[in-house]
Amino acid sequence: MKLSYREAMRAALHDALSTDPRVFLMGEDIGRYGGTYAVTKGLLEEFGPDRVRDTPLSELGFVGAGIGAALGGMRPVVEIMTVNFSLLALDQIVNTAAALRHMSGGQFSVPIVIRMATGAGRQLAAQHSHSLEAWYAHIPGIRVLAPATVADARGMLAPALADPDPVVIFEHALLYNTTADIDPGAPVDIHTARVLRPGTDVTLVAYGGTVGKALTAAETLSASGIEAEVVDLRVLRPLDTATVVDSVRRTHRAVIVDEGWRSVGLSAEVTTRIVEEAFYDLDTPVVRVCSEEVPVPYARHLEQAAIPQPEKIVAAVQTLTGAS
């Protein structure tokens, strides 16, 4: 079945609402408007306002309401319009949802799913374009997912809803229009990374919106005789270190592609884990391709220059392999 990323997310939400009466959706403009990215379009008409709830513009308030509903036995799916706005709900997510199982000695769990768009490339400037996944991947007590493929967009929600603890799902906004043929019933796990393209000369580690760019770079490199293996992290917390390290032990080189900033980011964590576990397998230092250390610009040419692109990935690999 051919679906867009947007349609896959909508189908997953539809399944959840259809099969579990405890599931309901809440967020800004998700009902009558159908969602900022049209993911929830049509669900209000089918399931009604009790299960598809428009909220006030108060992330702190409606995420807190979702946590309360989860504690009361419901299975809320809360949509935050963009990751930048999620900072207004950090107290609820980090100090409450992530910590309650620990602070209650295991007596309480918070089975909430929080979805949000992330990433740049749409000329929406700094307050709507950042990639802050690393902030959430830093926090014990939550699971952090970054579906980069249509199959993962379709399949990750069900196991996320089955998780007894909070799950945060990051959807890169440039992925919504991408399409693929998928098996909608194929099981998808929320535990492991995945090798999307085998290779022998270098490992490209990416997630979310950078996965497609890594695959594009790998095809360009293949034309010049360099075979890159592409690993999609998929799960940012807990990281599947084993899949990444196994790949690096085969290729002996690694390039980490991260739309977040280089300083204190996910790219640094992945690099450190490679060095800790596969240092003697490396033929060269690990290289990172990250966003420039600036707020994402509005002007398109500056925005494109500020974030990772296939050409930057190709150049990094060529430098590593001595092909430049």
| Catalytic residue numbers, as ranges | 59, 128
Half-sphere exposure of 35 (CA within 13 A, CB side): 25
DSSP 234-261: -EEETT-HHHHHHHHHHHS-EEEEEEEE
- Structural contact between residues 206 and 214, judged by C-beta atoms closer than 8 angstroms: yes
Here the tokens at position 323 are 């092909």
Distances (CA, A) of 192 to 149, 170, 258: 14, 16, 18
DSSP 135-163: HHHT-TT-EEE---SHHHHHHSHHHHHH-
Taking alpha carbons only, the member of 265, 257, 148, 151 closest to residue 208 is 148
State how far the Cα of 235 lies from the Cα of 142, in Å rounded to an integer. 11
Please name the residue that has the structure tokens 């690393």: 134
Strand partners, 25: 52, 77
Where are the alpha helices (H) located in 72-121, listed in sequence order?
Answer: 83-86, 90, 100-103
Residues 290, 312: Cα–Cα separation, whole Å: 9
288 close to 255: Cβ distance less than 8 angstroms: yes
Q: Which two tokens stand for residue 139?
A: 């926090």
**Contact by Cβ (8 Å): 255, 287:** yes
Residue 105: CB atoms within 10 A of its CB come to: 7
Q: Two tokens at 237? A: 């917390």
